[in-house]
Structure 1
């Protein structure tokens, strides 16, 4: 009985002192768990990391590299993305299109220290709204590209498209990760096409250094039945990329966009795209 009384006395005494003792615990100890949770929530974004709705981190130092993006066929969409958005499979869409992926590329270029711009979305949306025929789109976008190039000099100008072929040709599995493969188009019906072609091959090389097999071919087009210029005659630094195909999903595209941004950064820094 006496032993039981001693135990209860100790318990009551401890309960009495607990509110007093806790006041002397350092604040750092109280918040340590919260701090750990917040620190673990930080995002590391690289070419092999897929993260949706990531706010672009603007670097403190921006390189001299300037990149312009535009979308001749702004309506081009990806079937898995349209199905996820509204349950319908489509290759043309008002939101789940190449412009959405282009905005992600612009953000990644900025994160990589480049000054990235895109021709105004309003212009692209107007072209989409007016349902410009596929073959006439290059003519319609041309004055907008020409105007922007007259206003500023760029180290690289990218016309972003989506290829019409299926996922069996446009998907790469590398070290367990799936990527959307990239093809390139060079119009040969103008005198300066060799410069566009050389720059295109340099970008392809930089991408392959990072993820072998992530690119397809550099497709030369000229002669009857094709555009033959693709507005690349406006500037020797214009390249045309086909970002994946109709069957690639957003996760695969995101990974490839990270690779493109890293490759563009190195291309510009090495001066491959800065010769006037």
Structure 2
């Protein structure tokens, strides 16, 4: 489904600030797999997502999505393959547009479109049903501008937008990190439900160790641009925070939040 071969990314090459962000990573993500990614600050987590999404081009290696090489395919041309959610809730929606216009825009992502964002009666009814499952009352606010929503509401809407067309790959970049604990719990539970129901191939970067352990069926830890461990199946199900800290604590020492439980 997603194949990464010997991927490498260097920032500020040939300067005193040279930084090897991704150092020869190889990774195969199977169809329908839900991978969580953890690691210390600067480990290369977001850079890896940016290389997959086409935000950056690599200095070495190859990226394949659904059997097609996309290593140097521009970001906008990868949009039809990908759904992506960022840490900042403001980044996934258009504030000046209404909820229904945002959903319509998401539905057309990667497709040729006209000049109008007009929403049909059929679309409007479908959006109502879609938003009703969020239990946030957004189904009754389709004509409201997104700027009126809270951060949590926007992130839930962004999640629905990113998965509306069932992308071949969903990229989640610490998408609950800026939310309060209660809202973060709601968003991560919604994420898990949508991913499972639609069997979406997903890579989720998180700073929360409990999220990384409790969600997904495979967990990867990055350190200094390399994969330090890759665990799945029954071994992942038995994994605990204490075990990860015992084995890799020195690589996580700057991540104080990794071992902090999510408060209710």
**TM-score tier after normalising by the smaller chain length:** under 0.3
Kindly indicate which of the two structures has a greater share of residues assigned to strand.
Answer: 2
Which has more radius of gyration? 1
| Normalised TM-score (structure 1) | 0.25
Which of the pair is proportionally richer in helix?
A: 1
